[in-house]
Each structure stands twice: as C-alpha cells, then as structure tokens.
Amino acid sequence: MRIELVIFDGFDELDVFGPFEVLSMAGFDVELVAAEQPGPVTSMRGVRLQVPGVLGRADGVIVPGGGWLNRAPEGTWAQARRGVLPARLAALAPSVRWMASVCTGALLLAAAGLLTGRRATTNRNAYEELRAYDVAVLDERVVDDGDRITAGALSAGLDLGLWITERELGAATADRVSAAVEYPPAARPGAAS
C-alpha cells in the first residue's frame, strides 16, 4: 500500500514526521510529495526539503496542518485560500482508498468538500471553523469516518499512524510498532455508523 504525505510550504513538521515514522515502521510504502510540482518545500520552522514526487499515485493520502490558526502566509490557511491543493484533493479522492489529515489539515479536506456531512476532528482551537464546513466535530484524537480519517492536534499524528496500521494490517502489527516507538495508542476510534 502506497501512502503519500502531501507537504507544502508552512507545513507542521510533527504532523508529517510522526505518522511518517510509524507508517514506515509498519511496512507501508510512504512518500513525501508536493502538491503541484517537485522541488524545495520549507516547513513552518524552516526545515527545507527537496521533494521529488507529486501528489497523485497513492492508495492513501495524509494532509498535515500548520499555519491555520495564525493565518500564516504559508501553510494550510494559505493553501485553502489559493485553492489549488483543495482542488487536487477533491479530484484525487474518488481514486484513493482513504484520505486522512492531522491537525488543521482537516480544514484543507473540508475546503475540498471532502468532510461535508461527516464526522471529523482537528486542532481544538479550530473546531468552530471546521463546524462551519458542515462537519460534525468530535473531541477525539482520531475519528474514522470510513474513507476519511482525521486526527487532532500535533502528537495525534502518531495515533493516526497507529490507527491506519491497525486498520490496514491488524492489531498485532500496530501493537508491534507502538511498542517499538514506545508510544501507547489512544483509545481505538469507532467506525462510521
């Protein structure tokens, strides 16, 4: 299974590298990809990466947060305003098994129309903004709504990685990875009703 973590200028590092490490340890083919074109991408804290791939060849996609709450000139807020990444996510959604987000990455999924009428979570400080997209916001670390999976703020990316691992590869694999990273998973999320 190939999982793409789409990164863009202003992304939050923990939102990306937490799930990246967990999913890689579980044995998934995980790649950091750019939204539009290969090239340099700079995180919200100045980490610069050279990204060779572009979003679009995935079985699952994870969208990180960063820069929403402070309306940063780069990050999720800027990406939502530009509209290119939400449009790419909306176009790609029918061809992937699931789309997921960490923290305010949920607002990019919402801006793409992919969370309308769904259950989801995000950073607690953005709950009201997510509700404005007609989303049933739950105060949980991970919310699994079938082909949409969302995780709360920052460290919940680890929970997301462990949940995806359990969902796709089983509890034994998730428990093995959890023990290896010495991080106990949050309570298992309920399935969509």
Q: Rounded distance, CA 15 to CA 81, Å?
A: 20
Both structure tokens of 161: 């990685």
Structure letter (DSSP) for residue 137: E
**Three-class secondary structure of residue 151 per DSSP:** strand
Q: What pTM value is reported for the model? A: 0.96
Each residue's pLDDT, cut to its tens digit, for the chain (193 residues) gives 999 999 999 999 999 999 999 999 999 999 999 999 999 999 999 999 999 999 999 999 999 999 999 999 999 999 999 999 999 999 999 999 999 999 999 999 999 999 999 999 999 999 999 999 999 999 999 999 999 999 998 789 999 999 999 999 999 999 999 999 999 877 667 545 4
Q: What is residue 185's predicted lDDT score, i.e. its pLDDT?
A: 73
DSSP labels for 29-63? EEEEEESSSSEEEE-TTS-EEEE-EES-S-SEEEE
Where do the structural domains in the chain lie, given as residue ranges? 2-181
> What burial class does residue 175 get, using C-beta atoms within 10 Å of its C-beta: 0-12 exposed, 13-18 middle, 19+ buried?
middle
Q: What is residue 26's predicted lDDT score, i.e. its pLDDT?
A: 98
- Give domain 2-181's CATH number out of 3.30.870.10, 3.20.20.210, 3.40.50.880, 3.30.300.130: 3.40.50.880
